[in-house]
Amino acid sequence: MRSLAVVGGGVIGLAVAWRAAEDGWSVTLFDPSVGSGASWVAGGMLAPLSEGWPGEDAVLAFGAASLARWPEFARRIEAGTGRSVFVADATLTVALDAADVADMRTVAEWLRGRGHDLRLLDRAGVRALEPTLTRTARTGLLAPTEPAIDNRVLVGALRQLAEAAGVLVLAESVESLDLLPHDQIVLAAGAHSASLWPDLPVRPVKGEILRLRRRPGATPVPGRVIRARVHGRSVYLVPRADGIVVGATQYEAGFDTAVTVAGVRDLIADAEEVLPGIGEYELAEAAAGSRPGSPDNLPLIGRLSDRVVSATGHGRNGMLAVPLTVDAVLSLLAGATLPDAEAADPQRLSSQLAVRATGQEATARRNHGGPRERRQSSTGGVR
């Protein structure tokens, strides 16, 4: 039987291990603390359309291709575990000022030109869909095909499926890929991937996130994912069974995962601008994680050598990208390539010096959502 080592136990590593074991591989997964990294500190948005921006056609195409795979992927998870991972079935982005209204119309027109017809709403339309939102919302952009998942339910379900399929999970760190005896290796170590493959242009990007628990009598939880910009900072609210996830700050801060007072303050203040009644909720958790960032906001999925396949660099889109990443990795292990994932081939980034020079610029462009100036603490979220 062919042997496979999966290095990294986040949602990407767990999903690859599960599906590879089902395909007949003898799989060992290495992670000192499975599911405890960025996969645990996430909002769970699946929103490649709402977060798109003109010029990022490759990022949009990759995200849309993965989104299209999510219904079947979730069906397989539910069939194997009895767990449903979905917590919302649509995303509503609201604009609070005239400049954001203009940006929203630009995005809607760009998406329409690429076959994605999102619905623009006026003030009354926003209120009709989500009456608890702020009355200052001028315009809304409804993406009815962009759901959200509970990332922690997903982590648990994937681990259950992996172990049921025969994956050996070892709570161990890998110091060198060369020391692994397996026929093939999938590097899915998130922000730590570059420590095992030094030329890989993956870096940690810090993100803080809050979990708010609804108290009796408090404003109801929105029925959809809510996204907005407040004072130049992006904020999102993702429903949960017991409350809301609010996210997320984004900083170039290395592997620092301490939650800051400023981060909590900004998230709460911005969330309250969008959902005024949120102040009645209980602050149940504040956490931070390190997303694996890439220079151009596309992941790094492809062969690094005859024996090593990369599946990392997903940035804020780790949850969204799981189904397509799994399909792409399984294709590579079978000696083929998946057309929908070709743009994520790490060979597109051939010069490490160029990567280092452009990494900060690409992050700023993506997080700021367009040409208008944004604060450096502009937020995007661990999705």
- The angle subtended at Cα 365 by Cα 11 and Cα 61, nearest 5°, is 55
For residue 181, give its domain range. 3-368
Residue 83 lies in a domain: yes
pLDDT for residue 253: 86
Residue 81 lies in a domain: yes
- Residue 89: pLDDT band by 50, 70, 90 thresholds? very high
Q: Is the pLDDT of residue 218 over 80?
A: yes
Q: Are 4 and 25 in contact (CB under 8 A)?
A: yes
Residue 260 lies in a domain: yes
Q: Is the pLDDT of residue 202 over 60?
A: yes
Q: Is the pLDDT of residue 371 over 90?
A: no
Residue 33 lies in a domain: yes
Q: Is the pLDDT of residue 134 over 80?
A: yes
Report the half-sphere exposure of 207 (CA within 13 A, side-chain side).
Answer: 34
Residue 18 lies in a domain: yes
Q: Are 6 and 16 in contact (CB under 8 A)?
A: yes
- Separation between Cα atoms, residue 376 and residue 316, nearest integer Å: 17
Q: Are 102 and 229 in contact (CB under 8 A)?
A: no
Q: Is the pLDDT of residue 351 over 70?
A: no
DSSP-derived letter for residue 220 is P
Q: Is the pLDDT of residue 132 over 60?
A: yes
Mean pLDDT of the region 83-97: 97
Tokens linked to 146:
């962009």
State the residue for tokens 């010096």.
353
Domain tally, the chain: 1
Query: pTM (2 decimals)?
Result: 0.90
H helix intervals, 206-351: 261-274, 318-333
We report the CATH number of the domain holding residue 182 as 3.50.50.60
pLDDT for residue 379: 29
Closest to 201 measured CA to CA, from 306, 312, 352:
352
Q: Is the pLDDT of residue 370 over 70?
A: no
Residue 381 lies in a domain: no
- Separation between Cα atoms, residue 180 and residue 4, nearest integer Å: 10
pLDDT for residue 241: 92
Write out pLDDT tens, residues 255-305: 999 999 999 999 999 999 999 999 999 999 999 999 999 999 999 999 999
Write out pLDDT tens, residues 139-187: 999 999 999 999 999 999 999 999 999 999 999 999 999 999 999 999 9
- Average pLDDT, rounded, for the chain: 91
Bridge partners, residue 289, by sequence: 207
- Separation between Cα atoms, residue 348 and residue 46, nearest integer Å: 25
State the residue for tokens 């994605």.
116
Distances (CA, A) of 191 to 10, 126, 294, 361: 11, 38, 10, 18
Residue 375 lies in a domain: no
- Separation between Cα atoms, residue 278 and residue 271, nearest integer Å: 7
pLDDT for residue 248: 87
- Separation between Cα atoms, residue 264 and residue 377, nearest integer Å: 12
Q: Are 179 and 351 in contact (CB under 8 A)?
A: no
Mean pLDDT of the region 232-245: 95
- Residue 356: pLDDT band by 50, 70, 90 thresholds? very low
Residue 376 lies in a domain: no
Q: How far is CA 52 from the centre of its chain?
A: 13
Write out pLDDT tens, residues 97-114: 999 999 999 999 999 999
pLDDT for residue 366: 34
